[in-house]
Every structure is written in structure tokens, then in C-alpha cells.
Amino acid sequence: MTDLALDVVEFLLTTSVYSDDRSLDENDLPPSYRRVFWTGGPEADDEDGESGSGSGSGSGSSRRTRGIERPLSATNTTARQATGADQPWEAVSELMFTDRDEFSGTISLTEQGMAERWFLERVDDERLLANPTLAAHFEDHESVSDAVDYETARENNRPIQADRVWIDGLLEEYFDEEDDEEMLDLVEIRAPEEVDLTLDDLVLTPDQEAEIEKIAKAIEHRDYLASIGLREIGKLLFVGPPGTGKTSTAQALARDMDLPFVEVKLSMITSQYLGETAKNVDKTFEVAKRLSPCILFIDEFDSVAKTRRSDEHAALKRAVNTLLKSIDNISLIQDDVLLIGATNHPDQLDAAAWRRFDEIVNFPKPDYGMRRDILHVITRAMDIDEFEPEAIAEATEGLTGSDLRMVLREAVLEALTENRTTLTQEDLVDAVEDFEERDNLKNMDMIEGDHDALVAGGDLGKASDGGHSHDHDHDHSHDH
Ligand SMILES: Nc1ncnc2c1ncn2[C@@H]1O[C@H](COP(=O)(O)OP(=O)(O)OP(=O)(O)O)[C@@H](O)[C@H]1O
Ligand SMILES: [Mg+2]
């Protein structure tokens, strides 16, 4: 109960301090509070909006600038949304310094000084550092340790641009015409808070780690890079078979760097109503620029080159050319957009496509050591008796990270059918066997089924040219 009271009092103090201190802005509110009071209008105080001055010159003037309006009203509803407490008023009604106006429902602090003392007796550094508004208010207070300072709290606090509400506000404003519906089918936008993997959950090769480190540094120092005229940076191509972590790595990067994640599936472009396609490509890049800093992830990049080669509809080719031109025109340094392309079929990319990327990052199938590490990572929260990841890694040559996840899922579900939540090594061994059986079935399907879609992706290591030789590979390997 006391914890709830502390949560609610923190909320009451924060709304009160924030309402009075006009030097504070939305980035001084913890995300869970800010979400409650955000009223839309993406560039509310337009502080850092200036950096992208080159972009979107046509649409700037009509923008609403609202954001967060003072005073922040603390009611049962807002307090519940912000703190998760079911009955916020109940949690603090016993305290001597709180009051609730029956009519408006407003919860207030009748004795702010007393509330502050009560709060400071119970709060720890970590909590203060997660709330820049209160860190600013209390940093010089005698009972607060030196470890608490406003600058640190502000730096730790996620920027508003990483919040879903901010992204939604921007989208709502930007996509008001009816025909934009299609556009949103093409693009999926995720707030960093909605990504649940972090880079720590992924097992990367030293090469991949080095690339990520490099790009993180480049993002951090983009002003410097601009000043020395270095612009050819910030376009990565992730290359590798399905299930090797390309998408996950791009998303984890977004989460760890607090950047919105804008994902485009190129196959969607080609399936769209033709007249709109080129326009939609343009818009996609404009969305990315408006959301910047962000990551623009273009999946299935090979379909670009495929389209250019084939005798597709002229409108489609135009769209693809628009895409290539847009890629040329977007830049990490100028637009704060990190572009990441991904492909399972590097053999299908033409020179024009390769040329657009300044770094190629290889996502190979994991080797023994990586498989062992992946097994460690994905079983972190599981109970496994006599767990021996080495043996499983040994037995899973050729499986990807995504395959290993599937193996684990099978083992967990199997154990559940016996009402067990503790696994055994035996369960895992069985699940590996089942997986291989399943894999065989899948490959049988491939032989009969849709060759291009299924076969080529599964067998990237072979540099053979056509679909036919791939068919044979599968025929042989699964016909023993
Ligand atoms: N190296 C890895 N470490 C940890 N988990 C991994 C790794 N590789 C893949 N996974 C897991 O496998 C799943 C699928 O990975 P992901 O979707 O990123 O693969 P992908 O390379 O994008 O595949 P596709 O080419 O089919 O899009 C994810 O849940 C991811 O966490
Ligand atoms: Mg993917």
C-alpha cells in the first residue's frame, strides 16, 4: 500500500512542480506521465526541430503547436493512467497533506512542504533520477544525495519523439486525406517503447558488433561529421538467410537508441495500386524525415532489383526508380534518418542497388559458439534441469536463431502438456529431433510448392544462379 501512496504522491508533486515551473518542458516528464497529458502536435516547443531545416519546407507553417498544457490536472483518472494505481485517491486519502475536491475530482496537496518532506523520506536516488521534473526541484535539497542532478535525469529520460503518443500525433496530422489509408499499409511505425528486444538479447558476430558501434558513434557525432563534409554514412544493408536476426537487430537498435522504427516492406509496394506507388514511396521517405531522428528499415530489398530486371509495368519501374532516388536523397547527417535495408537474396541485387549502401553487414547462420550463446540468451527465464547448451548447439548445425527459438517453444509446449514448467535437457533433445522432422516436411513442400518464394531463401550459401539447381540441392539433401 505504501508503494502506491509513494507513486501517487510522486505524481501529485510532479504535476504541481511542473505546472509552476515554466522552464520545464515535456522532456522533463517521465514518459508514463507525459503520455497522459500529451495533446498532440509533434513539435510543441520546437527546440530541436530546427536541425532538420532542409526537410519538409512546404508543410511547416500549418503545424499545430500544442503539446502539454499547463496546469497539469491531477484527478483520479489522470493519476490512474500515469501510475497504474487502481484507486489513486484511496492510496493517499489518509495522508494529512492531501485533499480531493468532490466536485471536480481534482486531487491536490494542501501542504506542499509537508508532502515534500514525506516524499523525500521515502524516495531513493534511482526514482528521482527517473523524474527530471523532481530532480530539478530537489537536486539542491539538503536531504538529497549528490548523485541526483537534473542534467543526468534529463539525459536518462526518453525524449518525447520516442513516445507512441508523439508518433500518433504526427501521423494523425500528416495523414488526413482518405487515400492515405493505403500508405499506412505500406509502412509500419513502431515506437521504441514498443520494441521488446534489446541488443543484449541478440548474439552478434564481432563484425556486426563493430558495425553497430560505428553507426552509434556516427549518430552521436553527426554534427562533427557534417562539419567535415562527411556525408556518405548511415546506409546499411543487412544480408543473410531468414531468421538470422536482421529485423531484430534493426529494431533493437531503434529501441536502444530511442529512435522510432519505420518499416517498409518492398513487396507491399509492388502489390499496390500502381498509380499511387511512386507517390507512396515519396511519402514514406517524407514520413521518415518528419519522424527523424529515426530508423527507416526497408525489408526485402531484393525485390527492387528484381523489378527493374523484369518487364514489369512501367509505373512499377517508375516507383522503384523513385525509391532509389529517394534513397540517394536521404541522409543520416542531413535528415537524421538511418537507413537499413535487408535482403535474403544478395545474389539478386544489381550494382545499382549495392551502390546505394555504404556498409554491408553480413548475417550468417550462427556457428557453434553463437548457437550456444543464443541458447543461453533465449533460455534466460526458463528452468531447465541438467541444461547443457553445448550439446544442443552441437546437434543444431545449420539452424538459425529463429529456428532455435522455435525449438525451445516446442520443448516448452510439450512439457506443458505434461503439466511441467521445468524442462529437462531431454525435452530439448526431443524438440530438436521434432524440428528436424518438421524441417524435412517443409522442404518436401518446397519441392512441390512455390519455388521462388521458398527455395531460394532457404539456401543462400550456394551461389548457384537459377531456381532449378536449388531444387536439386533440396532434393538431394532430404532424400537420404
Ligand atoms: N543472433 C541471434 N541472437 C538471438 N536471437 C536471434 C538471433 N538471430 C535470430 N534470432 C531470433 O530469431 C527470431 C527471428 O529473427 P529475425 O526476424 O530478426 O530474422 P530476419 O533475419 O529478419 O529474418 P527474415 O529474413 O526472415 O526477415 C527473432 O525472434 C530473433 O530474436
Ligand atoms: Mg526480417
Nearest atom in ligand 1 to the alpha carbon of residue 241 is 25
Q: How far apart are CA 251 and CA 247, in angstroms?
A: 6
Every domain of the chain and the residues it spans: 2-159, 175-362, 368-448
Say how far residue 164 (Cα) sits from the centre of its chain. Answer: 11
Residue burial 281-306, b: 16+ Cβ < 10 Å; e: rest? bebbbbbbbbbbbbbbbbbbbbbbbb
Does the domain at 175-362 match CATH 3.40.630.30? Answer given as no
Tracing cell 551461389 back to the chain, one arrives at 463
pLDDT in tens, 413-469: 999 999 999 999 999 999 999 999 888 877 765 555 444 444 444 444 333 343 333
Cβ–Cβ < 8 Å for 139, 149: yes
143 C-beta neighbours (distance < 10 Å), count = 10
- Ligand 1 atom at shortest distance from the alpha carbon of 299: 27
What band does 290 get if pLDDT is binned at 50, 70 and 90? confident
CA of 342 to the centre of ligand 2 (A): 7
- pTM recorded for the entire structure: 0.75
Residue 321: what pLDDT? 84
Q: How far is the CA of 244 from the centre of ligand 1 (A)?
A: 4
Average pLDDT over residues 243-262: 94
pLDDT for the residue numbered 440: 81
The helix/strand/coil state of 121 is helix
| Per-residue pLDDT at 186 exceeds 90 | no
What are the angstrom distances between the C-alpha of 377 and each of 42, 206, 256, 408? 37, 17, 17, 11
Rounded to an integer, the average pLDDT of 244-261 is 94
Q: Which ligand is nearest to the CA of 400?
A: 1
User: Per-residue pLDDT for 143 more than 80?
Assistant: yes
Phi and psi, residue 190, nearest 5°: -125, 135
Q: Name which residue sits closest to atom 28 of ligand 1, judged by CA.
A: 402
- Average the pLDDT over each of 5-14, 177-186, 412-421 and give the range with the smallest value: 177-186
368-448 is classed CATH 1.10.8.60? yes
Mean pLDDT value across the chain? 83
Greater model confidence, 340 or 293: 340
Confidence grade of residue 2 (pLDDT, cut at 50, 70, 90)? low
Report the pocket of ligand 1 as residue ranges, CB < 6 Å: 197, 202-203, 240, 242-248, 344, 363, 366, 374, 377, 400-402, 405
196, 248, 371: which to mutate for ligand 1, most atoms within 8 A of CB? 248
Q: Best of 362, 402, 454 to mutate for ligand 1, by most ligand atoms within 8 A of CB?
A: 402
- pLDDT confidence of residue 5: 96
Atom of ligand 1 nearest to the CA of 204: 1
Rounded to the nearest whole angstrom, what is the distance from the C-alpha of residue 357 to the centroid of ligand 2? 18
pLDDT at 446: 53
Cell of 114: 509537508
pLDDT digits (tens, 9 = 90+) for 87-118: 999 999 999 999 999 999 999 999 999 999 99
